[in-house]
Amino acid sequence: MMTIDGSYKNFVERLRSIYDERESGNIADWVFESIAGIKRLDRVIDKQKLLNNSTIEQLSIALQQLLQHKPVQYVLGEVWFYKMKLKVNEDVLIPRPETEELVEWIVEEIRNKKLEIRNKKVQPATRNSQLAILDIGTGSGCIAIALKKELPDTTIFAIDVSEDALKVARQNAAYQNVKIDFSQLDFLNEKLWPSLPSFNIITSNPPYIPENEKNKLAKNVVEYEPHAALFVANGDPFIFYKKIGSFAEKHLNKKGEIFVEVHEDYASAVQQIFAQKEFKTEIRKDIYGRERMIKAYK
């Protein structure tokens, strides 16, 4: 038997073999709360309380997985995104804070436009018409679900080439009690595009890391996260943005907008792709000052 304090200190110390002190502590906090229901305050008040054998075993299993560089989100099967707890596994990419910023930008744009419509006193039939949004490469469903919760009057379609990813996305939508039209579809296959309607908003966090940059990524990313959601061929690293631009030419409604996440080193290149199709563009930086998002519109 071990005390809460002793077990926690051992957990952090073991993690420090692969993570820095701050990250080790953050991971340990998350694991102890998720597995044992022990929050930071509990560790102070009940630090000499003994853990039962079942809890010790579960913590030990989690620690061994973490020491093999498995991301804590996959170890626990959960992640927090945009005020929601979502299910994740190795079939889906782990949602990042930058993607939360992309969602926030879309929500901000739509709400500002609704305010503009009200100020112009547009007829109710126009004012209340539903916006249609398409999320390309939905993965865990994080973008689509967050948008639906923030903008319940919208109709949201979400597609992914992976049926395993869609299984996770559907579970998350059910858990969050939102209705989203999920479909398995290979977006790169233009022959399938006629099956999709037109949209007011098209959004995507597509694969955009060239294969030759694998060695720049952390071991826990390369070894565990789905490569189909991360990497693109070196010969055509902007393929998804080219396809999104072409798709939008026929499937984006008048005054519609595209919102995409991009590689911080290639925002200008993606901007040019949309510009060649006569889209106006805006690049937005993330909280770290990196060029990580683009809006395109006509």
Q: Are strands 252-261 and 291-297 parallel, antiparallel or unpaired?
A: antiparallel
pLDDT score at 130: 81
- CA dihedral for 209, 211, 215, 220, sign (positive or negative): positive
For β-strands 84-87 and 181-184, DSSP reports them as unpaired
pLDDT in tens, 238-254: 999 999 999 999 999 99
pLDDT at 126: 40
Summarised one tens digit per residue, pLDDT across range 184-197 is 999 999 999 999 99
Mean pLDDT of the chain: 94
pLDDT band of residue 127 (cuts 50, 70, 90) is very low
In tens, the pLDDT along 52-65 reads 999 999 999 999 99
Judge: domain 83-297, CATH 3.30.70.360.
no
Tokens at residue 279, please? 């889209």
Question: Is 206:137 a contact under the CB 8 Å cutoff?
Answer: yes
> Within 10 A of 155 (CB to CB), how many other CB atoms are there?
17
Q: Where along the chain do its domains lie?
A: 4-68, 83-297
Residue 226 to residues 14, 216, 230, Cα–Cα distance (Å): 27, 16, 7
**pTM: predicted TM-score of the whole model, two decimal places:** 0.92
Local confidence band at 119 (pLDDT 50, 70, 90 cut-offs): low
Cα of 57 vs its chain's centroid, Å: 31
**CB of 244 within 8 A of CB of 279?**
no
What per-residue confidence (pLDDT) applies to 118? 64
Q: With DSSP H G I counted as helix, E B as strand and the rest as coil, what are the percentages for the chain, rounded to 5?
A: 50, 20, 30
**Confidence at residue 254, expressed as pLDDT on a 0 to 100 scale:** 93
Nearest C-alpha neighbor of 262 from the set 281, 290, 288: 290
